[in-house]
Chains A and B, each alone.
Chain A
Amino acid sequence: MLLITLKIAFTGSSLARFCSIALLAVVILALAGPTLIAWDPEEVDWQALETAPSLSHWFGTDLIGRDLFVRTLIGARVSLSIAIVATLVSVVIGIPWGALAGYLGGRADQIMMRIVDTLYALPFVLVVILLVVVFGRNPYLLFVGLGAIFWLDLARIVRGQTLRVREALFIDSARILGLPTWLIVLRHVIPNVIGPALVYATLTVPGVILAESFISFLGLGVQEPDTSWGVLIADGTQSMQSSPWTLVFPALFLALTVWCCNMLGDRFRDEMERATSRTHREVSAS
């Protein structure tokens, strides 16, 4: 798993290398950038209200004179952490669900996967919007709400992987030893499927970033003075004619991140498929 990651990142095509480096750069900037820049994300520069990029403000300033560069990086921090936490939430729900369904098989499997199929088809972002309206805007809600949407993919993948290891010798022996089901799933099934599952989990990161930006665009996302890429883009579209830089920079960052994640995700998937023999093509209805 880690080997594949490293292999793609450093020996893969130049495109994959570019994407890895770009993502790494975004993450490092998000983590370290705000402390290195002279401007505080909430500091108002009364001399430079809504000004174009310059030497002192590399990305210009926003409507009330805050440095857009540092705010874009803070936005990166928020968007990325929402994406990562939501992904973790999806891992916590999706992996046990898929592993249990795959391990149990039969009726239980059918019911569990049917639930996944049905939930999959619902406009859950609308439900997240309702949650936000009802419980007020806080990032934790977004984490959980978005994670609760994105676990579905993962459950499917993990179930497929589990089906392959279910009949393995060591699981049979665990069963013969009389271990309880939950312990078998926890000790023997999950460790054997977690590799590919985590790779697929990283693919949900761009999905969450987009979903967050969508909710922020409707004005239901993160609260000022905190910010996220979605909030910055929403503000930017409100002033894109008079001050295009307020839209361009956050949009570039978001698009670049999502694009790189997708490219790398594709490579991951290809490598994984090559690595694991193609025993079957699962049809979701089975």
Chain B
Amino acid sequence: MARYLAARLGYSLITFWVIVTLVFFLMRLAPGGPFDGERRLPPEVEANLNAAYNLDKPLAQQYVDYLSMLLSGDLGPSFRQKDFTVNELVVSGLPVSLTIGGLALLFAVLAGVSAGLTAGLRPGSRADIVVMGVTNIGIAMPTIIVAPLAILLFSVTLNWLPAGGIGSWRHYVLPPLALCLPFAAAIARLTRGSVAETLSEPHVRTARSKGLPMHRIVRRHILPIALLPVLSYLGPAAAALLTGSVVVEQVFDLPGIGRYFVQGALNRDYTLVMGVVVVYAGMILLFNLLVDSTYARLDPRIRLSG
């Protein structure tokens, strides 16, 4: 178990380094420097700016400098948000992104598992058909359509919830809901499939023939096995959720790091984009480690040789 996790950690660190390197050099290839504005910049001033942000050194030197900065936990100054360091920006934006992403994941799991369970326990029933129809529509409706429609309906027309920004709890209702739909649908389908399959397994049939109440069978015998595929889906889902949150943050004007990423990419804010990717990659790798270790503990069949 420990060896398995150590190996996983090793792979994660290598991936992390590859991503950092890749993104670092990609950003430097981009046309247009970070200080190109609409107005002219005298060459002396530009030279000063470049020196201030360490852009006047050779590329290899910049790369080494960046890595060593990263090791000490410093993501550097932001090129565009001149009054903030990237650390400050991440500290300010990450809680918003995590709240939206976490709530969306929670909604998706709760709604997905309940719907999938309902459908999977009675395959072919009317409930099953309705659930599967709805989830299929959920998967086919991308966030880019759902989110603006939700704003039009619940904010502009009905005026129940704010159209964007942060503040009270009311700001945290629409964004996670709009974000979680496709994931809830995917989880529902996964759960339905594995619940239906588990139902036919010998130990469940035995339990049923012994006349145990259904809710106990579900809790003791079905869910622990049936949820394994859902669990292994959570890793990729977390990655996809973060990606999706970029759109949601854009549509709902949320000050999360996904929005920084898009703004940073468009403005050639090298350090900010790097910082966001570093944080995203780190979080996702961490989350996957967590999922893996949970999986290893839950599933006796897993071979922990790796």
List which B201-256 residues lie within 8 A (CB) of chain A. Answer: 232, 235-236, 238-240, 242-244, 246-247, 250
Is B246 a contact partner of A234 (Cβ separation < 8 A)?
Answer: no
How many Å lie between the Cα of A136 and that of B156 in the bound state?
A: 36
Is B239 a contact partner of A285 (Cβ separation < 8 A)?
Answer: no
How many Å lie between the Cα of A125 and that of B246 in the bound state?
A: 10
Query: Hey, what's the 0/1 contact readout for B247-282 against A, CB within 8 Å counting as 1?
Result: 100100000000001100110000001000100110
Closest Cβ–Cβ distance, residue B284 to chain A (whole Å): 5
How many Å lie between the Cα of A273 and that of B63 in the bound state?
A: 49
Q: How large is the interface on A (under 10, 10 to 19, 20 to 34, 35 or more residues)?
A: 35 or more
Residues of A within 8 A of B136 (CB): 259, 262-263
Closest Cβ–Cβ distance, residue A37 to chain B (whole Å): 25
Is B140 a contact partner of A127 (Cβ separation < 8 A)?
Answer: no
Residue in A126, A131, A254, A263 whose CB lies within 8 Å of B243:
A126
**A114, A126, A259: residue with the most chain B Cβ atoms closer than 10 Å:** A126
Is A262 a contact partner of B148 (Cβ separation < 8 A)?
Answer: no
Q: Which of A20-28, A54-62, A88-96, A213-221 contacts B (4 or more CB under 8 A)?
A: A213-221
Q: Which of A43-51, A77-85, A116-124, A191-199 contacts B (4 or more CB under 8 A)?
A: A116-124
Is A233 a contact partner of B140 (Cβ separation < 8 A)?
Answer: no
Is B301 a contact partner of A214 (Cβ separation < 8 A)?
Answer: no
**B2 part of interface (Cβ distance < 8 Å):** no
**A276 part of interface (Cβ distance < 8 Å):** no
How many Å lie between the Cα of A117 and that of B301 in the bound state?
A: 19
How many Å lie between the Cα of A119 and that of B281 in the bound state?
A: 10
**A255 part of interface (Cβ distance < 8 Å):** yes
Is A122 a contact partner of B262 (Cβ separation < 8 A)?
Answer: no
Is B299 a contact partner of A130 (Cβ separation < 8 A)?
Answer: no
- Interface of A, secondary structure class, is helix
Is A134 a contact partner of B27 (Cβ separation < 8 A)?
Answer: yes
Residues of B within 8 A of A210 (CB): 142
**B160 part of interface (Cβ distance < 8 Å):** no
Is B30 a contact partner of A134 (Cβ separation < 8 A)?
Answer: yes
Residues of A within 8 A of B137 (CB): 255, 259
**From A241, which residue of chain B is reached at the shortest CB distance?**
B152
* Total of A-B residue pairs, C-beta within 8 Å: 122
**B107 part of interface (Cβ distance < 8 Å):** no
A120-B236, A122-B239, A214-B247 known; A251 vs B27 contact (CB < 8 Å):
no
Residue in B30, B236, B244 whose CB lies within 8 Å of A121:
B236
Query: Hey, what's the 0/1 contact readout for B135-156 against A, CB within 8 Å counting as 1?
Result: 0110111111100110010001
Could you jot down 28 A-B contacts, CB within 8 Å? A118-B15, A120-B236, A121-B239, A123-B243, A123-B280, A125-B246, A126-B246, A129-B261, A133-B265, A134-B31, A214-B143, A214-B247, A217-B247, A233-B144, A233-B145, A234-B144, A240-B152, A247-B148, A251-B145, A254-B145, A255-B137, A258-B139, A258-B142, A262-B136, A284-B232, A285-B295, A285-B302, A286-B303
Could you list 16 further interchain pairs (A-B, Cβ under 8 angstroms) beyond the known A121-B284, A121-B288?
A120-B235, A121-B236, A121-B239, A126-B243, A127-B23, A130-B27, A133-B30, A214-B142, A214-B144, A217-B247, A237-B145, A258-B139, A259-B137, A262-B136, A263-B136, A285-B296
10 nearest A-B pairs in the assembled complex, by CB-CB distance: A259-B140, A258-B140, A237-B148, A217-B144, A134-B30, A118-B15, A125-B243, A121-B288, A255-B140, A133-B265
